[in-house]
């Protein structure tokens, strides 16, 4: 695309495994600093240790069985992006941060969504994995909308990535002071299917039925690839795919001291909120 040909350099950050609160604090810090005039776009990759359930920022913690999560050592966090609940365990998560002055930015949400999705397709081609766009919005029909409303992988929207109708990547986008922040969860293995067991207001029979539905609706990279796909292999494919599609050099750069300070402040704030919620 002509607009992206002017793009010369993105920051590339591979954080590896971190806690859910650390991951969200860093992404928010990067988005906050991206509003500054000299900021560049960022591709950040990471995983979650321990596993975590992330909720879209409109969702309520009441949708999650916190006692069961605590017993199974599953963290619960709220993402700054929208979308619905995801169990992050056997996967790679990406965060894309695009300042308003960057050539890849666009006021149209779906235009940016498509550009990122095309970069993901390029990454999967590096793994010899054949997937396609979802061209039209679809709604889940097997269950009532109320039962599936909490689940990210229960439905798909335009420019999400599928294999024969089964979802491989769940993504959500939000604008923060003119900065695009998009999150995406790329499935490596089947642990995401356990999410229904951590939902509240649902008996075990219904949880099993919803899990079966998700199994039919989703697919993992290791089901599609002839060679095992590790986090490290996928991370390299992502770096090369985004670089090729966006015609940008992916320059490895750690967080700046200012970004680290902002992330620490946000992490402390999240910890204070969590403590208050635990006392309720």
- Residues of the chain with pLDDT > 70, as a percent, come to 85
In angstroms, the CA 235 to CA 257 distance is 24
pLDDT tens per residue across span 188-225 = 999 999 999 999 988 999 999 999 999 999 999 999 99
Across the beta sheet with 249-252, the strand order is 169-176, 179-187, 91-98, 42-48, 9-18, 249-252
In angstroms, the CA 94 to CA 117 distance is 12
pLDDT at 272: 60
Rounded average pLDDT over 271-278: 60
For the chain, counts of helices (H) and of strands (E) = 8, 12
State whether the Cα torsion 226-230-236-239 is positive or negative.
positive
pLDDT tens per residue across span 134-191 = 765 554 444 444 555 455 544 455 678 999 989 999 999 999 999 999 999 999 999 9
Half-sphere exposure of 65 (CA within 13 A, CB side): 18
Residue 8 has pLDDT above 90, yes or no: no
pLDDT tens per residue across span 58-84 = 899 999 999 999 999 999 999 999 888
In angstroms, the CA 94 to CA 140 distance is 25
Residue with tokens 């599928």: 162
Return the SS3 of 36. Answer: coil
Strands 52-55 and 75-78: parallel
pLDDT at 278: 56
Domain map (residue ranges) of the chain: 2-273
Active site (annotated) includes residue 152: yes
Residue with tokens 């397709």: 121
Cα 42–chain centre separation: 14
Look up the pTM and report it: 0.89
CATH top class, domain 2-273 = alpha beta
**CB contact at 8 A, 36 and 77:** no
Return the SS3 of 219. Answer: coil
In angstroms, the CA 196 to CA 198 distance is 5
pLDDT at 189: 97
DSSP track, 150-200: TBGGG-B-TT-EEETTEE-EEEEEEEETTEEEEEEEEESSGGGGGGGGGBS
* Among 266, 280, 198, CA closest to 20: 266
Strands 166-167 and 169-176: unpaired
pLDDT at 141: 45
Of the candidates 69, 104, 152, 240, the residue annotated as catalytic is 152
pLDDT at 159: 77
In angstroms, the CA 199 to CA 78 distance is 15
């Amino acid at each position: 695309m002509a607009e992206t040909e002017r793009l010369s350099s993105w920051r590339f950050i591979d954080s590896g495994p971190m806690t859910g609160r650390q991951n969200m604090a860093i992404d928010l810090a990067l988005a906050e600093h991206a509003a500054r005039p000299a900021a560049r776009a960022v591709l950040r990759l990471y995983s979650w240790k321990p596993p975590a359930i992330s909720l879209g920022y409109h969702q309520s913690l009441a949708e999650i069985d916190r006692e069961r999560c605590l017993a199974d050592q599953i963290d619960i966090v709220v993402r700054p992006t929208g979308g619905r609940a995801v169990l992050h365990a056997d996967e790679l998560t990406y965060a894309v941060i695009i300042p308003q002055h960057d050539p890849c930015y666009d006021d149209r949400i779906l235009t940016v969504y498509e550009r990122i999705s095309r970069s993901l397709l390029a990454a999967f081609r590096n793994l010899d994995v054949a997937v396609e766009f979802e061209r039209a919005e679809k709604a889940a029909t097997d269950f009532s909308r109320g039962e599936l409303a909490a689940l990210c992988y229960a439905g798909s929207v335009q420019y999400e990535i599928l294999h024969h109708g089964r979802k491989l990547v769940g993504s959500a986008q939000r604008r923060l002071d003119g900065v695009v922040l998009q999150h995406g969860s790329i499935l490596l293995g089947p642990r995401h299917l356990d999410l229904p067991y951590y939902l509240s207001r649902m008996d075990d029979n219904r949880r099993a039925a919803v899990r079966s539905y998700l199994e039919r609706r989703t697919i993992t990279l290791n089901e599609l690839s002839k060679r095992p796909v590790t986090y490290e292999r996928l991370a390299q494919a992502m770096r090369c795919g985004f670089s090729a599609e966006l015609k940008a050099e992916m320059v490895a750069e750690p967080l700046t001291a200012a970004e680290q300070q902002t992330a620490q402040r946000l992490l402390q704030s999240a910890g204070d909120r969590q403590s208050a919620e635990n006392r309720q």
